Structure 1
């Protein structure tokens, strides 16, 4: 599939509805801080890709089945109705909080083996699904998250119709969303939904390669016991104190039928193009030898040197070369947007990756 010469135009599937999610702020160590996963990300990326000559296509509504193949229906139902439940409560008047945010989490430390019931109050029920206080839900969150899934599935459709490469401008991102929970600025796992849709189309084995600066714990969890979807990630070492902290280590290899289908390559703080590209190349070789029929790339560009959300030092040229490495797998590929928060460089980094993968 890869070819020499200038980069070809890539179809870009996007939706104006993805702008509707406004996190307003995050609650980090008890303090409301400015949100970083903002709607301007969409327009910054669109502007850069339009300037590069890529073809912009608006997403159309897609079926729920692939989404429900990777997410529990209770999570989907909560996300769909959470903002309306919150608005019907006293939170705006009492404390000025217009976004859904949990205040407790029914972990084993709390329930301690007692028969836990479903909480009545939405501020308590939110803790059943959210696993952090950073990922707030507002009136536009569900429409945007569902539209992000439509973008991913639209890109899958294009690849199944014969496009060698398609890009989904999915926002909010998704790779931290687990089968039953949301967090890390992610609500629905767009890349996992794309991989599930490719499997449902009849492709026997699919690979997901995650380039985001942070381990995609959600994608890993979804496929951890499945041999039909490989998950490989290069990310900053969670043992150095980085999200998601508890998981993402090199000895997590999958379990049961999925043993050997999970591969994590954590990097130290300050790692730049050299070690990062070595890891990407390792994952590309692993995927290429695994008998996969399609590839999903979780394209986070927050590993870049200017990004405020990670300590990695990858350059735009590094992203371009990463695209070349993954193109050499010679697999039809769906690229799904994940992180990337430095607006002045965001669009150029995405364009750099696509220029490498599309040559």
Structure 2
């Protein structure tokens, strides 16, 4: 297995996030990047650093105005002497508000639906590097290398074409899938992060050439709340190419693996040329998110079932947060995916 990463991914490292009326520890710390890199190094996998030279690939998914905003927002923010050290919005439009403002606070709210995406000095460099890791991973897969693990961080599957949300800024999996379509035609995405891939679903909602399957906690119980229900199956030409399986709180290995098998069966029927796995470990029993009860053995079995599709596969890292078990979850998945002894 080939692993792609870039050291700039560790530059975004805010230590707190504002939720539930208080500042709490930010789950997406840069240490996650180092944990993942340590594991792939220990496994003696081939590791490559992504070049940062494919900026146009981002525009295949994201609005250019939004990308330019992400690049410039921190420098604009620090020009205000009364603003704090971290860029966090305090206003947001609703469905009754349709005009994008140009004033900084209004524009920040327009491009963000929550306080979950704090921006610091080098956030853009980290976000851009993460997307470039996905792009380079897709290119290496297209060149005949595979499977490929794009060690993306920050994650991306919640990001919409013009919206940051859920600690996601650019949608790495969607960018990679668009890239892979150039070589493989139809592409499938299976998302096993504990949260629904609302951004990815939105990007491909009407696209008949991308099948999106997501296994996640019931959105009536947890974020993203507003998408991820079983009756969301796509629209227009993409009708039927979206497959959501929301599961209850505290789901364990057996029902989770059954849902993965159902997604694998649907993907097999779709017959994609390539597969993107949005690889989240926050379903883990020891993950601080504390939602599902998936064990290392569960992740290993998921890897075996997904690998059984036997199509060129790009693994794109999503969630999975700091705990003593995090590295073990990654090791279990990667070794099983390759059919290696753990």
Specify the TM-score bucket, using the shorter chain as the normaliser.
Answer: over 0.9
Question: How do 1:164-183 residues align onto structure 2 when only pairs under 5 Å count?
Answer: 164-183=146-165
Is residue 43 of structure 1 aligned with residue 24 of structure 2? no
Q: Distance in 2 between matches of 1:188 and 1:259?
A: 25
- Helix, strand or coil at the partner of 2:277: strand
- Report if aligned partners of 2:55, 2:132 keep a CA contact under 8 Å in 1: no
Q: Offset of 1:207 from its aligned partner?
A: 0.4
- Helix, strand or coil at the partner of 1:344: coil
- Helix, strand or coil at the partner of 1:308: coil
- Report if aligned partners of 2:286, 2:323 keep a CA contact under 8 Å in 1: no
Which of these residues, 100, 112, 118, is aligned with residue 87 of structure 2? 100
Q: Pairwise CA RMSD of aligned residues?
A: 1.2
Structure 1 stretch displaced more, 47-56 or 273-282: 47-56
Residue deviations 1:182-231 (CA, integer Å, cap 9, x gap): 110000000000000001x2322000100100001000000011111111
Task: Give unmatched runs, 5+ long, in structure 1.
Answer: 1-9
Which of these residues, 197, 201, 204, is aligned with residue 216 of structure 1? 197
- Report if aligned partners of 2:14, 2:119 keep a CA contact under 8 Å in 1: yes
- Helix, strand or coil at the partner of 2:303: helix
Q: Deviating runs (4+, > 3 A) in structure 1?
A: none
Other-structure match for 2:144: 162
Task: Specify whether residues 232 and 91 from structure 1 end up closer, same or farther in structure 2 by C-alpha distance, changes over 3 A only.
Answer: farther
Other-structure match for 1:306: 286
- Report if aligned partners of 1:21, 1:138 keep a CA contact under 8 Å in 2: yes
Residue deviations 1:247-285 (CA, integer Å, cap 9, x gap): 100000001111001000011011110000011111111
Other-structure match for 1:345: 325
Normalising to structure 1: TM-score of the pair?
A: 0.92
Is residue 229 of structure 1 aligned with residue 220 of structure 2? no
Other-structure match for 1:124: 106
- Helix, strand or coil at the partner of 2:300: helix
Is residue 254 of structure 1 aligned with residue 234 of structure 2? yes
Q: Distance in 1 between matches of 2:189 and 2:310?
A: 14
Q: Distance in 2 between matches of 1:296 and 1:116?
A: 35
Other-structure match for 1:263: 243
Other-structure match for 1:187: 169
Is residue 321 of structure 1 aligned with residue 304 of structure 2? no
- Helix, strand or coil at the partner of 2:271: coil
Q: Distance in 1 between matches of 2:215 and 2:338?
A: 21
- Report if aligned partners of 2:273, 2:312 keep a CA contact under 8 Å in 1: yes
Q: Offset of 1:117 from its aligned partner?
A: 5.1
Other-structure match for 1:331: 311
Structure 1 stretch displaced more, 332-341 or 343-352: 343-352
- Report if aligned partners of 1:172, 1:185 keep a CA contact under 8 Å in 2: yes
- Helix, strand or coil at the partner of 1:193: helix
Q: Distance in 1 between matches of 2:216 and 2:290?
A: 9
Other-structure match for 1:6: none
Other-structure match for 2:263: 283
- Helix, strand or coil at the partner of 1:336: strand
Q: Offset of 1:51 from its aligned partner?
A: 1.1
Task: Give unmatched runs, 5+ long, in structure 2.
Answer: none
Is residue 62 of structure 1 aligned with residue 53 of structure 2? yes
Task: Specify whether residues 265 and 170 from structure 1 end up closer, same or farther in structure 2 by C-alpha distance, changes over 3 A only.
Answer: same
Which of these residues, 69, 85, 91, is aligned with residue 78 of structure 1? 69
